[in-house]
Structure 1
Amino acid sequence: MKRKISNGSRGILGQAQPNYLVPMGYLLAVVATIIWAGNFIIARSFNEDILPVGLAFWRWTIAVITLTPFALRVTVEDWKLVKKHLPYLAVSALSGVTVFNTLIYIAGHTTQAMNLSLIAASSPIFIVLMSRLFYGEVISLTRATGIIVVVIGVLLLITGGSLERLLSISFAIGDLYMLLAAIIFAGYTMLVKRKPPAMRMITFNLCTFSLGLLFLAPFYGLECWIYHPVVLNLSIMLALLYVGILSSVVAFLAWNKAIIIIGPSRTALIYYLIPVFSGIAAWLIIGEEISLVHIFSMSIIISGIIITNRTTS
């Protein structure tokens, strides 16, 4: 008689994942989210010093340079798979590397930080809906309740508990860019789930990073021609190293591996922790105050994530 293996989660294409891998999937998603929280702070802090396409171009240049020594041999071994799935890799690169991050940086130049955080919170909802639409993942009452609780916590955190502050938000063209970025990130997450099982994750990342950088190059050239290239100084170089190595290589490897282990819907809900980690980072780094409202809203967000992930669907 064959022994039945207990399944902790459903990962890529619904394949059962062993119980011992599930905590690692959540941990990887949390690591990516913590790093991306710092990325949002850098994007806001340097929006007067670095033009958006330039920031994206140098971010992915550093990412490719950093990843290549570790991934080149594996990518060469997977080259037949790369050629076979080149259209898939190109679409993944265009969405997740070229367009998504650049839209965030463009939006940061034309709208308020509050709007960015508010609209970014919609991305996990799009991921859950797309998972339902394309992969038939069930949105149970428990999961829907958890999502609602998380959204309430995010709104409370962003507005500081002030309804007047929420109602007084004005919208600009950058909000449309950010909304489009949220939808594109959801689409990219769906594409990661479709990664050919035989293609190793490090190969996928090197190929998408390189193709995404290639697609960015002409737009950066155009930005330099119309405006000016990035002028480097120590603070800008440190910021670029952070977004190039941590926000790109480390965070994307962690996020994409989490999608494979626990699936896109569960991974997406960890994304709601970004405003929590952003608030903590702002408190530690630039001394922004954390009030009782912040602590309460962070608790609601974490509770909602726990509720959502208790579902067995």
Structure 2
Amino acid sequence: MTDITRNTDREQSDQRLGQLLLFILPILMCSNMLAAKVGTDIIPPIAMAFWRWTIAFALMCLIAGRPIWQARHQILKEWKDLTILGALGMGICGAFVYLGAASTTATNIGLIYSASPVLIILLSRFFYGERMFGRQVAGVALGLAGVMIIIAKGSLQILAELQFTAGDLWIVAATTGWAVYSILLRHRPTELGLRTRFSGTILFGMLCLLPFTIWEGITIGTADLTWKTVLLISFVACLSSVAAYMMYAKVQLLLGASKAGLVLYLAPLYNSVLAYLLLGEKFEPHHIAGAALILPGLWLATKSPSKRK
């Protein structure tokens, strides 16, 4: 067998593996949204975020302990950026989802969060002056309109009187935090590798969450240490945090960034179906109307501009 044949077989094998992972990854990504709804009666929201990322950091140390230790001086050197990223990615994006889950549905969480790439493009234009093409402007407008339909439950009266569900507003704030986190992650300079930067971000995110976790424990109370609590936190830490991150990186490596972006379209659909099957949530008309705007808006906003000769 020639080298060319071996390389072709390997490429085809990588493509098949990447395509398989592409359909598994959305399950890992939306598992956090489903777990957020399940955990509302089991563990306080900030404690949920703190212990989720504590376990995730322990797992990252097992996976990449030596590179993390070798990069400790650079991690300390970049502590300001890592603190901001941790506060956004592990604090706001983590705790706010669990706070919102107390008064909104997992379906709403998934659909609102699916508009985050649209918001990333809009904020990139505002903060960094990145160029927006006509189709991206249209995509941003459609995506934001879809989110408004969902949080207003399709009612013009709710929209006019600004009577939004508190949970939906928490999720909007979390989505905005994720957009800012993603922009800073791309634009802020770093000498750390992907895994070491991710681990450093988790570490400083835990430190940001710690005082709020203590305050929550004093004022509200702590969760009972039961098998349900341990299982839920471990589930989110392993699947929604470490496994989702590593699988997404693998899909990007095998299929490229553009094809890996297809997961953005699949995740809200997976989330809605799983919320219906596992949590008994109904898919209301305003969900359909919102998704009918968000998903095309997402496609328009993230589609690469055509190259002319």
* 1:233 CA drift (Å): 2.9
* 1:194 CA drift (Å): 3.0
Is the Cα–Cα contact under 8 Å of residues 116 and 175 in structure 2 kept in the other structure?
Answer: yes
Task: Find the residue that maps to 2:41 and give its secondary structure.
Answer: coil
1:145 aligned partner: 138
1:109 aligned partner: 102
Query: CA–CA distance in 1 between the matches of 2:103 and 2:285?
Result: 31
Residues 282-297 of structure 1: pairs in structure 2 closer than 5 A: 282-286=275-279
* 1:69 CA drift (Å): 1.1
Task: Find the residue that maps to 1:46 and give its secondary structure.
Answer: helix
How many positions carry a matched residue from both structures? 288
| Structure 2 gap segments, 5+ residues each | 1-13
Instruction: Specify whether residues 129 and 307 from structure 1 end up closer, same or farther in structure 2 by C-alpha distance, changes over 3 A only.
Output: closer
RMSD: 4.2
1:239 aligned partner: 232
Q: Deviations over 1:176-207 (max 9, x none)?
A: 43332222211110121135454111101111
Q: Which of 43, 56, 71 pairs up with 1:50? A: 43
Query: Scaled by the length of structure 2, what TM-score is found?
Result: 0.73
2:183 aligned partner: 190
2:75 aligned partner: 82
Is the Cα–Cα contact under 8 Å of residues 27 and 270 in structure 2 kept in the other structure?
Answer: yes
Aligned: 1:219 with 2:212? yes
Q: Which of 41, 53, 63 pairs up with 2:56? A: 63
Is the Cα–Cα contact under 8 Å of residues 107 and 281 in structure 2 kept in the other structure?
Answer: no
Is 98-107 or 292-301 further displaced after alignment? Answer: 292-301
Q: Which of 218, 224, 229 pairs up with 2:222? A: 229
1:275 aligned partner: 268
Query: CA–CA distance in 2 between the matches of 1:254 and 1:119?
Result: 23
| Structure 1 gap segments, 5+ residues each | 1-20
Instruction: Specify whether residues 255 and 131 from structure 1 end up closer, same or farther in structure 2 by C-alpha distance, changes over 3 A only.
Output: farther
Is 291-300 or 229-238 further displaced after alignment? Answer: 291-300
Is the Cα–Cα contact under 8 Å of residues 101 and 167 in structure 2 kept in the other structure?
Answer: yes
Aligned: 1:205 with 2:198? yes
Q: Deviations over 1:89-145 (max 9, x none)?
A: 111111111232112212223456566456535533321112223343322112233
Q: Which of 81, 89, 96 pairs up with 1:96? A: 89
Amino acid at match of 1:37: C
Is the Cα–Cα contact under 8 Å of residues 62 and 241 in structure 1 kept in the other structure?
Answer: yes
Q: Which of 165, 177, 190 pairs up with 2:170? A: 177
Query: Scaled by the length of structure 1, what TM-score is found?
Result: 0.72
2:5 aligned partner: none
